[in-house]
Chains A and B, each alone.
Chain A
């Protein structure tokens, strides 16, 4: 028996050698654990605190059916007011809005930022939820997002988001990315200092007085001399944190949003987000206020570094394939699958079938790393990419407008 045990132990040690975790991999795993440990200890706020809440929704080129369902979900939350800031060209959504008890503000100024500002200026409640027009709320979102505001230091609250009825590989992968974010990064940032790096623009709730205070800074954001058009949610979160307030992710407040199903749109969206993240994080890391939030700084730096280190893994794989070292290829592929599955456990527990999507998810992660590097190299470029607006010579324009007379209004005007 003892010999059998010894042999088993030796066998075990023998096979441990084949776990392809290098020093860098160990560092990456350590960084993940630094996030994951507090994330596992996260709890949403539970109390009876409730404040009056308005919803502000910029609307432009939205799918009418999704938009109608979203409006109905907001109305089901019994909020005080819903302000829809609809682009003048979007008559379809104006018609849909007319069917519901909501306030409609029609704007001829292109760009989301101006629409958001018009919205919160038109509101009168203490809390304002900035919501995307394709985002569907659970029935208790208004109640749940109010709870963290019991702490007067909290300036903004985010929600947990998922893909609305995901179909196909890309939407499923997006759902995995979202779970990873809300069960890992955002949860950890909430626990460690109540400083979430980005309250996603699909639904983020702020104190209205703070929005009015930061309004000018928000509208006049530039990066390396170029006015910023996208990245409004990152900017708002940063401005709130910069002024010493807290941001909180209330995971019990759940919303669902649509995501692209085609690779082209998916990559464009990711490229836009990556540029926003680089701009915001690089600027934040260079400012004094970030010293108040060391964990936030750590996660920002970690995210930046991971874009590069992540690509070492496929580089090793390619080298092994070229050498024909199929044993190592098998070990590494198995390690990718197992280790990434362990990191994705919160999602896999929810949707076990996603286990078979993990290899695809890993490959998409590598693609995302490349996209992030491309975004860093084109960090000054300002285009929405998935919508027909852009910044040309410092002004926001409708890129689809006919050449005879485009509406060109300066950002912030």
Chain B
């Protein structure tokens, strides 16, 4: 009997458990639904279309409201437009080439979504909240966009949606996914706010390509963030709120023909990445920050970049073994080409830099080592080239109309300036007090209005150069060795400040007033030199002559004397005429004639 009673209790308990289990089953089943789980993982959008290889689920606020069977293989957006319904993805009632997307699209692994000319205009809703906005994301999936214009639409119907709309759409491809964009335009993508999103992002280990496409008015135009093997060709990114193109931690990227213009941040930003990379045909215009900014690059080769009207031109930060060849920078108000941060072996070849009187043409900041600048032309900056790093070599470059041609300052050490041609401006070359081992050779400084060469660097060596047309050609505030210099068309050729010692060998000086001026306790040792000036050797210091040194007056200014004589002779001849005709009377003529003197 007892057994029977136990058996009855067990049956009741089992039955109760079964009843409970059967009533609780629907809830437990939803929580375990992969589509709902996907919805939970992807920021819980109001509407989410989950695209799987054999099903497409429509999830609304965490509930799967429909399941569709997609075509095998590639899922076209046009299929979604015909299959999902009005609030999800649908054709515009008036224009069959336009599709309105009102849901986030999630591409699960092994799916392919294709957006092509069947849906030429894609309007993606930017909701009033982040959850009501739209996006296309995927991982280990493929998104193929060709010949399409994707535009964000604000809640009020504005196109593109305002930049601060929290639900602006974006496209992001995640791990091992593939995103290809060909001949398309993407406008008004990317989000501000807490979860910042670029307009289009290739995430870690994703790949793909962008060719002949335009990104207009996005947050960041396009971003590579750890992507691999992406090809960028003939891409224009414009009017982004932030940076135009960001290539970050990417590898094996091929870039050719990038144009970034009118972006609020930098035009093209290169940030990290393990591999050497080559960028050709980068053109940046009127960007709010640097045209091209390369950070922490190794082996970067930037070929023929063009920056026009950017806030600053090209900036290399902590780059090693990087080369910028044939860069062209126009109209920047800051630095045209700047190298800073810890790095080394940066080479700038044949730069063509034009400024508007402000900023610096090439700035090698303290901390940089082994920088080399060769060839090219730098025109119209406050400072043509500013060298603050060590082991810098500047060679065969032409500088014109910069207020200061070249400045070597800071703690610069072992700086070599060779074959420079400096024209115009206020000062040709200045070398600061804290610098060491600075050499200047084979140079020409012409028409620097104030000073040709000013040095406070102990041990400066200047050789085989010509300085002409400056008020003061060489001003030495520290020990220096001058050799093989020709100095002419100058008011004062060489000036040694108090206590400075210098040597001059094979100098040829022709000054309009002072040849060599030595201040108190300064001393100049001249060897095998020629000084021609009205006051050849002046000042309270000493100038010692050695070897075949000659000192003389400059050639007489015969033409000036001739001009003055001619003027005087004209006056004399007029006087002769006046004297000879002093008694000539005024003519008698009718009173209406007045010009009778």
Contacts and interface: CB of A to CB of B under 8 A. Distances in A.
Contacts of B576: 40-41
Interface string A1-29: 00000000010011111110111011001
Nearest to B590: A73
Given A13-B557, A17-B512, A165 B574 contact: no
B31 interface: no
Interface string B557-597: 10111111011011101101110100010011110111111
A256 B559 CA distance: 41
Nearest to B597: A350
B534 interface: yes
A41 B579 CA distance: 10
Give the one of B557, B561, B569, B570 with max A CB within 10 A.
B570
Contacts, number: 113
A15 B513 CA distance: 10
Interface string A331-367: 0000100110011011001110000000000000000
A343 B570 contact: yes
Interface stretch (A135-143, A201-209, A400-408): A135-143
A384 interface: no
Given A10-B535, A73-B590, A36 B563 contact: no
B595 A138 contact: no
Given A138-B588, A165-B595, A350-B597, A16 B570 contact: no
Interface string B499-521: 00000000000001100000000
- State the majority secondary structure of interface residues on A: helix
A139 B592 contact: no
B590 A164 contact: no
Contacts of A126: none
A69 B592 contact: yes
Contacts of B584: 252
B478 to A, nearest CB: 30
A18 B577 contact: no
B593 A136 contact: yes
A137 B559 CA distance: 45
A72 B574 contact: no
A97 B576 CA distance: 45
Contact of A73 (B577, B589, B597): B589
A307 to B, nearest CB: 21
Contacts of B534: 10, 13-14
B578 A18 contact: no
A338 B564 CA distance: 11
A139 B513 contact: no
Interface in A271-322: none
A166 interface: yes
Contacts of A162: 595
A339 B571 CA distance: 11
B587 A345 contact: no
Contacts of A150: none
A41 B580 contact: yes
Interface string A136-167: 11111000000000000000000000111110
Contacts of B589: 73, 136-139, 254, 256
15 contacts: A13-B557, A14-B534, A16-B564, A18-B560, A19-B557, A21-B566, A26-B566, A37-B573, A39-B577, A73-B589, A162-B595, A254-B589, A338-B567, A345-B570, A346-B577
Interface of A: 10, 13-19, 21-23, 25-26, 29, 33, 36-37, 39-43, 69, 72-73, 76, 136-140, 162-166, 175, 183, 252, 254, 256, 335, 338-339, 342-343, 345-346, 349-351
Interface of B: 512-513, 534-535, 556-557, 559-564, 566-567, 569-571, 573-574, 576-578, 580, 584, 587-590, 592-597
